[in-house]
Chain A
Amino acid sequence: NAGVTQTPKFQVLKTGQSMTLQCAQDMNHNSMYWYRQDPGMGLRLIYYSASEGTTDKGEVPNGYNVSRLNKREFSLRLESAAPSQTSVYFCASRYSPDQPQHFGDGTRLSIL
C-alpha cells in the first residue's frame, strides 16, 4: 500500500520557469490537499480539493494552480516560478473530516 506518492522528490528551477508537481493516492480518499512548509511557519494550505471535481483556495494560493485530474490524482502547477516559492511542498489526502490526513514525503523545490 503506497499511500500518498509525490513526484519529483527534488527539483531546481530558474526564475520564470514553470513546472507541475504530481500527487497520487491509492486509499480511495475523497479530499486532497497541497501545503508548503517553510522554517518556523508550520504547514500552510495552498489549495485543496474537497471531492473529485472541486478545488478551492487555501491560505496562500497566489502563484499556484491545481487540477484534480480524478479521484486519485491532484497536481500543483507553478506557472512562473519565483524565488519566494522555494519551499518543501507536501500533498495530503483524507477520507472524511473526522479522519486524519495522510501525507506524502514531500517535494523539495529550489528556485534560483
Chain B
Amino acid sequence: AQSVTQLGSHVSVSEGALVLLRCNYSSSVPPYLFWYVQYPNQGLQLLLKYTSAATLVKGINGFEAEFKKSETSFHLTKPSAHMSDAAEYFCAVTLASGSARQLTFGSGTQLTVLP
C-alpha cells in the first residue's frame, strides 16, 4: 500500500521568490513518484517523474524535485516563481513493483504567486 501527504493546501509566494511544495510518501516497496500541475478547468499535466534513476529530477517550466529515501520526501522546488506558475500541484506515488501499481494522489497544494 502507498500514501501521499502534501503539507500545506495553500502556499503563497512573491514573484521571483523560491517555490517549495512539500510531499511525503509512504510505501511498502520502492516507489515511483510524480508531480503533476493542474491549471483552472484543465486536466493534469506531468511536471516530472522519479523512477529510480537520478535522485534529483528536473522537469518542465524550471521545476525540479529531489527524492530523499531517508526522509521519505519528494519536495518540488523552483528557484524563482513566475505569475504563470499559479496553479494546483499534485504529488502522486505508485509502487515500483507488484501487481497493485495504481497511482495514489495527494490532496493537492494551491500555489498563489503575488506580484
Contact = CB atoms under 8 A, between A and B. Distances in A.
A90 interface: yes
Contacts of B90: 42-43
Nearest to A94: B103
Contact of B34 (A33, A42, A45, A100): A100
Contacts, number: 47
B102 A58 contact: yes
A42 B101 contact: no
Nearest to B104: A45
Interface in A90-108: 90, 92, 97-98, 100-106
A17 B49 CA distance: 40
A106 B43 contact: yes
Interface of B: 9, 32, 34, 36, 41-46, 49, 51, 90, 94-96, 101-103, 105-108
Interface of A: 4, 33, 40-45, 48, 58, 90, 92, 97-98, 100-106
What 5 A-B pairs have minimum CB-CB distances, sorted nearest first? Answer: A103-B43, A42-B105, A97-B101, A42-B107, A103-B44
